Amino acid sequence: MAEPRKVSFKINGAVREGTTEPRKLLVDFIRDDLGLTGTHIGCEHGICGACTILFNGEAARSCLMLAVQADGAEITTVEGLAAPDGTLHPLQQAFWEHHALQCGFCTPGMLMAACDLLRVNPSPTEEEIRTGLSAVLCRCTGYQGIVDAVKAAADRMRSSN
Ligand code: FES
Ligand code: FES
């Protein structure tokens, strides 16, 4: 077995450190070592998007990265979206209001992918939302509620800026 390696990165605003086998996936490190289980694991090979996080500000699949690759990085998971006082992020609020989830399994990945989409395109059309979120699979909702929620969150975020 390869020697364990130290890894240190900022996650949801706090520096976290640990020791990991070089082969450990980032999603496993986040969930098992850091206890941040909001990031879900679906397929574990880059298809479903359930494990999507923000890695240095951009959406990334944490099942396709090793924990050691995150050394020195800045990561946001779904636990980092709400404000410290518990106020929901506009996307979370809109998902709630527009019934954009059923079982909720895809929701953390959807929210993180939507964050990245709105960062790049603060005023997306419905078509652009569908394309922007196409890398995250939802087996429940039929997507319309998700699209409506992202549109509503985009409107709210633009009007508050
Ligand atoms: Fe990472 Fe499915 S668990 S893409
Ligand atoms: Fe169930 Fe999307 S809400 S997978």
DSSP state of 135: T
> Domain check: are 94 and 156 in the same one?
yes
**Where residue 161 falls among pLDDT bands split at 50, 70, 90?**
confident
Q: For the segment 122-141, what is each residue's pLDDT rounded down to a tens digit?
A: 999 999 999 999 999 999 99
> Domain check: are 65 and 98 in the same one?
no
Q: What is the pLDDT of residue 2?
A: 84
Is residue 47 within 6 Å of ligand 1 at its C-beta? yes
Q: What is the pLDDT of residue 29?
A: 98
> Domain check: are 76 and 124 in the same one?
no
Write the CATH number for 12.
3.10.20.30
Q: For the segment 75-118, what is each residue's pLDDT rounded down to a tens digit?
A: 999 999 999 999 999 999 999 999 999 999 999 999 999 999 99
Question: What's the count of helices (H) and strands (E) in the chain, helices before strands?
Answer: 5, 5
- 8 A C-beta contact, residue 100 and residue 144: no
> Domain check: are 99 and 39 in the same one?
no
Quick one: 82 exposed, middle or buried, by C-beta within 10 A (0-12, 13-18, 19+)?
middle
> Domain check: are 72 and 106 in the same one?
no
> Domain check: are 76 and 129 in the same one?
no
Q: What is the pLDDT of residue 155?
A: 97
Q: For the segment 48-76, what is each residue's pLDDT rounded down to a tens digit?
A: 999 999 999 999 999 999 999 999 999 99
Q: What is the pLDDT of residue 101?
A: 97
Residue 26 sits at φ, ψ, to 5 deg, of: -60, -40
> Domain check: are 111 and 146 in the same one?
yes
Task: Choose one of 38, 54, 80: the last residue of a domain.
Answer: 80
Q: Which residue, 50, 146, 138, is CA-closest to 97? A: 146
> Domain check: are 71 and 122 in the same one?
no
Is residue 99 within 6 Å of ligand 2 at its C-beta? no
Distance 139 CA to ligand 1 centre (A): 14
Q: For the segment 4-41, what is each residue's pLDDT rounded down to a tens digit?
A: 999 999 999 999 999 999 999 999 999 999 999 999 99
- For residue 151, tell me if it sits in a domain: yes
> Domain check: are 37 and 9 in the same one?
yes
Measuring CA to CA, how many Å separate 123 from each of 88, 133, 152, 157? 20, 14, 10, 10
> Domain check: are 37 and 102 in the same one?
no
Range of the domain at 16: 5-80
1: pLDDT strictly greater than 90: no
- For residue 85, tell me if it sits in a domain: no
Q: How many domains does the chain have?
A: 2
Dihedral sign, Cα of residue 33, residue 34, residue 40, residue 44 = negative
Is residue 102 within 6 Å of ligand 2 at its C-beta? yes
From first CA to last CA, the distance across the chain in angstroms is: 51
> Domain check: are 50 and 94 in the same one?
no
Task: Choose one of 62, 80, 98: the last residue of a domain.
Answer: 80
Closest ligand 1 atom, residue 40 Cα: 3
Which of 95, 103, 146 is the best mutation target for the ligand 2 pocket, counting ligand atoms within 8 Å of the beta carbon and taking the most? 103
**Most distant CA atoms of the chain, gap in Å:** 54
Task: Choose one of 80, 109, 130: the last residue of a domain.
Answer: 80
